[in-house]
Structure 1
Amino acid sequence: MAESEIGAFDAAAAQQLLADVFAPWVQDLQLTIEAIHPPGTEGGAGATLRMKFSERLCREGGVICGQALMSLADTAMVFAVASASGRYRPMTTVDQTSHFLKPASNADVLADARIVRMGRTMAFGQVMLASAFDVKPVAMVSSAYALM
């Protein structure tokens, strides 16, 4: 999806971006857009995504593996950057630091991604991951992206 195709970045544009830009293995995570938070929103520009629970994402005991959680957080930040920019911009992850706080098991996971600082060539953000059935965070992720 080219930058000029999006215009105002809203939930419909986000859903189209999810279908058009991401690799098939990311699409296999069955992510859905829960909300797009435009600039000026309480908490800042960002996006909330949901990753449906699947046994395929789990290790022993129904615990969702860290790799799936990190992929969710990384993908959610693409949408947060697009929300802050008002459009999709090609970007690449420069840094991602994940702190796993407790296991996520047998439930969908929500990723609330927010922009901390948006520059011309770099974007910095934070993602809070939580089980859909428990408000206590599962993980917190800090990330930096180079904007192309």
Structure 2
Amino acid sequence: MPVMSPIELQEFLRKEFPQAVEAGAVIEHLDDTTIRIRLPTYERNLRPGGTVSGPTLMFLADFGFYLLLLGRLGPVAHAVTTNLNINFMRKPERADLIGEGRLLKLGRSLAVGDFLIWSDGKPDPVAHATVTYSIPPGLRPIGDAVI
């Protein structure tokens, strides 16, 4: 089981990362290794031509993996992205974005995962990202516990 629930994550974000809360992301599923997030899109998320912008997709992948990691480790505000590689696979429709992330490896100092993003209601993903996060020193996952 995750050490933080979606409700606890939202409360943590309101205190530590309020600008991310303003984006309106909703956690639809969270367990030890997976997360599903819905991100509404607004006019500000669009680029010319009416497609959802690349930075919006990158935000969803990065933010979603951050939430997955916090859910697993607890309220570690200073876990940071060390690498994010994204492939834009098709034009995202103006619709809610659905992101699904997986924690592939949780080591002593790094966490590695991937993230797929869809336009709501469409069967094919619009983007795929791989994400690596640095875990602050002193927070070492051991089995299901953190010391």
Q: Tell me the TM-score range normalised by the shorter chain.
A: 0.7 to 0.9
Q: What letter corresponds to residue 88 of structure 1 in structure 2?
A: P
Percent identical: 23
Question: CA separation in 1, counterparts of 2:120 and 2:29?
Answer: 14
Aligned residue pairs: how many? 134
List per-residue Cα deviations over 1:25-46 (Å, max 9, x = no partner): x3332211111123xxxxxx12
Which residue is equivalent to 1:16? 11
The answer to whether the aligner puts 1:92 opposite 2:80 as a matched pair is: yes
Letter in 1 for 2:71: S
Q: What aligned pairs does 1:1-148 form with structure 2 within 5 A after superposition?
A: 8-24=3-19, 26-38=20-32, 45-85=33-73, 87-89=74-76, 90-148=78-136
Instruction: Give secondary structure in 2 for the equivalent of 1:9.
Output: coil
Please list every run of at least 4 consecutive aligned residues from structure 1 whose deviation after the TM superposition is greater than 3 angstroms.
Answer: none
What are the ranges of 5 or more consecutive residues in structure 1 without an aligned counterpart?
Answer: 1-6, 39-44
CA RMSD in angstroms comes to 1.6
With normalisation by structure 1, the TM-score equals 0.83
The residue type equivalent to 1:56 in the other structure is: R
Whole-Å separation in 1 of the counterparts to 2:54 and 2:28: 21
Note if contact 2:10-2:21 (Cα within 8 Å) is conserved in structure 1.
no
Tell me which amino acid in the other structure corresponds to 2:25.
L
User: TM-score if structure 2 supplies the norm length?
Assistant: 0.84
